[in-house]
Chain A
Amino acid sequence: MIRLSKSLTRSSVMPERRVMLGRRSMLLGCGVAGLLGAAGYSSVLYASDQTDFLKVSSILTGKDDLDPTLAARYEASLTRHQADFPKRLNILGHIIAQGSYKDVESLFASSLMPSDRETAMSIISAWYLGVVGEADQAELIAFSDALMYQPCTDVLVVPSYGAGPLAWGEKPPV
């Protein structure tokens, strides 16, 4: 995860993109050259199903308790936004299976094609943000279930939900 967050930081401080959101820069930064390389794996087709998406997602996010309902919705939405997503997912699944990658760090350390990196990032992005697509095409799938909120749910509630009066502590004596 350290490597991933480094790459996010790097792309988000690129001067021409510094006003954009991390999510966007992440996708754009990874994707510029990505389209060129997709053809390399296009002839390799594997059966794609929800379990594959869930398996791939599990390796990409490092979590083994991902919600299958959300997985199905993210996959369907990613396919709506990218017609060739099933094919890209198959390729990525194939790479992961071939290389026996157990986590996103080792996968990203390999000589991954930019297009496959982009596919991986679009999946990670969906899980963390709960949103697929950009601007007026953006599709919200999850809010409080988005992974970005999970690390601190033991202490914080997702914005707009209530934690209860005095959740931050007792009122100090005046």
Chain B
Amino acid sequence: MKRIATLLAVLPLMPIAAAAWAADMPGSSDLIEKGRQVAVAADCAACHTASEGRPFAGGYPLQTPLGTIYSTNITPSVKNGIGAYDEAAFARAVREGVKPDGTHLYPAMPYPAYSGITDADLHALYVYFKSAVAPEDVSPPKTDLGFPFNIRASMILWNMLYLPYQRFAPTAEETPQIARGRYLVDTLEHCGTCHTPRGLMMGPQSGKDLGGAQLGAWVAPNITPDLLSGIGTWSDEALASYLKTGVAAHLAQAAGPMGEVVEHSTQYLPDGDIQAMIAYLRHVPSVKGQAVHPRSEYGAQGGDEASLRGLTSNVDLGWKTFSGVCATCHQVSGQGRNQYPALFHNTVTGADSPDNLVATILFGVRRTVDGQTHYMPGFGDAAAWTDQLSDAQITAVANYVFKQYGNPSMHVSASDVAKERNRGSLASSMQKFLSILGGVFALVVIVGLFALLLRRKRA
């Protein structure tokens, strides 16, 4: 009934869509369901649904090194959404990042990955969005990046460099399962969008596919089969559990953007798709990282509870903060309990970058899987005043946790925490890097446009 009501509401608004939908009338519910599955696998909701009450209405702020990019309204609203798009226009937006009016989208929309979406899946996706998603007449905030990134035409050049314009097709060398996994990992789930490091021009670095990358305050780790930096030591069960529930016991838990991926997408994937993704991830070339020891194999249960509890002077601030805040859930010896993970043998504390531990402390964890919310409060600026931790406290407790339960070679300074608090990157060179990047980018844009002009004049 709801679907019919939605349709009735949508139909008068969009004659084109209605025609397209009508053409698919036979077996259309199967098609819509297929489209819904593609939308789930492509995790459209993670970015395009900012509030649960308004699915796909956009407005979700994506923190990028270039500034905040707001996702667009992709409901079939004619005024604010994709209501007036025909299927070709829809396909062009999804696969090439170009709106019908010629405006270029930023590659925060993973159209370079989506360019691989098959024609059949794209058709189903279009039918699903047009006929089963309720139109929302809301206009998300405008994305306004600083110069030179506000020149959207510069994306033409970027696309020439980085957009594959290639549909997915299985190759003769790969098994059907690995092919399916490749389609899911590289195209629909667009794992590389976060897990592949970006170069100077924000394009994926060649030879580093899925090798791990910085993502705002978080790090998307190396998910290649490398034994030290990647997921080579994880069992199939652990990987499947991670994708299905967000937790791989005594290994890892999904937080930050990955928590959203599990919440909106991977938990709903059929088991066959999960197994296909795992098969493909085992198959991709290993990328060597900085790690000298598997990040899930650091640390042990223990701590300073016996020696420091009750002391009132000369108490290490790291332990004091750990004892007063962290131990409440992670327990006095860091062993965790029930839903609360242990702090040792944990990829966050054993990582070769401190970012995810600091980000977890600052921003917390919230992930709803199978109706159950897994929650850790953040202790940053968004916390209740009484729960907020200072930079000094977070620095001390992060260093304490690394030393006691994780990778002891990790060390953060108060200025690292302050930067992370502002959602900046931990790499202190990032700001410098960005200004250089801006300059290079502007130069390339100017040269590129000049070259195009010359070519056009000659022609």
Binding site for B on A (CB under 8 A): 67, 69-70, 73, 130, 139-145, 157, 160-167
Contact = CB atoms under 8 A, between A and B. Distances in A.
B305 interface: yes
B455 interface: no
Given A161-B329, A166-B372, A167-B337, 8 more contacts: A141-B309, A143-B309, A144-B305, A161-B328, A161-B331, A161-B337, A164-B338, A165-B338
Contacts of B310: 130, 139-143
A122 B185 CA distance: 64
A145 B332 contact: yes
Contacts of B372: 165-166
Given A162-B328, A162-B329, A145 B306 contact: yes
B309 A140 contact: yes
Contacts of B314: none
A142 B337 contact: no
B412 interface: no
Contact of B307 (A73, A140, A144, A164): A73
A162 B307 contact: no
A170 to B, nearest CB: 10
Nearest to A162: B329
Per DSSP, are chain A's interface residues mostly helix, strand or loop, or mixed? loop
Interface in B212-235: none
B329 A69 contact: no
Contacts of A73: 306-307
A7 to B, nearest CB: 28
Contacts of A142: 305-306, 309-310
B190 to A, nearest CB: 32
Contacts of A70: 306
A167 B328 CA distance: 14
Contact of B337 (A139, A143, A157): A157
Contact of A163 (B305, B309, B327, B338): B338
Closest CB pairs A-B (n = 7): A164-B338, A140-B310, A164-B339, A69-B306, A162-B329, A70-B306, A69-B307
Contacts of B306: 67, 69-70, 73, 142, 145
Nearest to B327: A161
Given A69-B306, A143-B309, A164 B337 contact: yes
A140 B308 CA distance: 10
Contact of A145 (B305, B337, B339, B373): B305
A144 B332 contact: yes
A63 B372 CA distance: 40
A126 to B, nearest CB: 12
B340 interface: yes
A47 B340 CA distance: 46
Nearest to A160: B328
Nearest to A70: B306
A164 B340 CA distance: 6
Interface in B332-380: 332, 337-340, 372-373, 375
B394 to A, nearest CB: 20
